A = this chain, B = another copy of it.
Amino acid sequence: MLDFEMIEKAARQLHGVAHRTPVLTSRTLDELSGATVYLKAENFQRIGAFKFRGAYNVISRLDADELRHGVAAYSSGNHAQAVALAASMAGTQATILMPEDAPAAKIAATRGYGASVEFYDRYTGDRVALGNRLAAERGLTLVPPYEHAGIMAGQGTAALELIRETGSLDALLVPIGGGGLMAGSATAAKHLKPDIRMVGVEPTAGDDTKRSLAAGKRVRIPVPKTIADGQGAEIPGEMTFAVNQRLVDSVEVVSDQEIIDAMVFAFDRLKIVLEPSGASALAAVMNGRGFDAGARVGVILSGGNVGVERFRELTANIPGQNAGHEGENP
């Protein structure tokens, strides 16, 4: 079971391996939100997202026999690259199951970290079942994206770093997809300050955790249509929900347009790149959700893997938002 000690152990395991990502602040954001906001910039983490923390924490602890056989994962996103890189660093082979129609750039990036990529038809195949079968048949260790105490513990190290750097916070806003980042973050934060307000953020169309908390049990929703593809879970994880049901105070939702506005704000004002899921908690803060006026608020910016083409698509309809100002002779 996940506890604070596991997160501290994960932090030691990740020391000098994961990036200690910066904590950003913005006067403009503080004025806009009426709070003092600390942004933990996991878009600067290795592979461009927090996912490296959990994957490395698990894979680097495998025993010699497991490492000799190799690891497996199913993912078309950041977890794929996290497992690929962590496996390469641990000297083992990763096999990643990806949908046949995954973008070529993502397949190339995953292979670039040394992983072997195999494909399935996502319209007919169940990736969890396929992943389990592949791992069982070949004797590989399956590294799940969130249903694993070691994964949750690794993800929790971002919040631990944030709070140790900023000191006491009144609220911490964390994006929720499968729930692993929140489970780790809440376990770390509530241990350090039991009355901190833990606020999950979901896209409006992907509010499975919000509904599940309201219902008191895991609720399945239709496949969410949202630009926040890292937050497209249909149902919370079993392990993650057990933790989050106990520790999360509330869940706020943000619209896709609010997420895009947050990505543009990050670009124009913070000069950083965020993917939609990475901007959702920022969107909540910008719209005053999840904290009281004057509060000290932490926010996890979970990742920045959006790519120029996708960023261009998402921002195609925002003329006049350009608050930038080109340079002067240096």
Contacts and interface: CB of A to CB of B under 8 A. Distances in A.
Interface stretch (A164-172, A283-291, A321-329): A321-329
A78 to B, nearest CB: 4
Interface string A209-239: 0000000000000000000111111000000
- The winner among A182, A309, A318 for most chain B CB atoms within 10 A is A309
Interface string A291-330: 0000000000011111111111001101111111111111
Contact of A310 (B80, B316, B324): B324
B327 A275 contact: yes
Given A105-B322, A182-B330, 17 more contacts: A48-B324, A49-B327, A77-B326, A78-B327, A146-B330, A175-B330, A177-B328, A177-B329, A177-B330, A232-B329, A233-B329, A264-B308, A277-B327, A309-B318, A310-B324, A311-B324, A312-B312
A60 to B, nearest CB: 18
Interface stretch (A8-16, A134-142, A187-195, A265-273): A265-273
Nearest to A278: B327
Given A272-B273, A273-B267, A306 B324 contact: yes
Contacts of A145: 328-329
A181 interface: yes
A312 B311 CA distance: 9
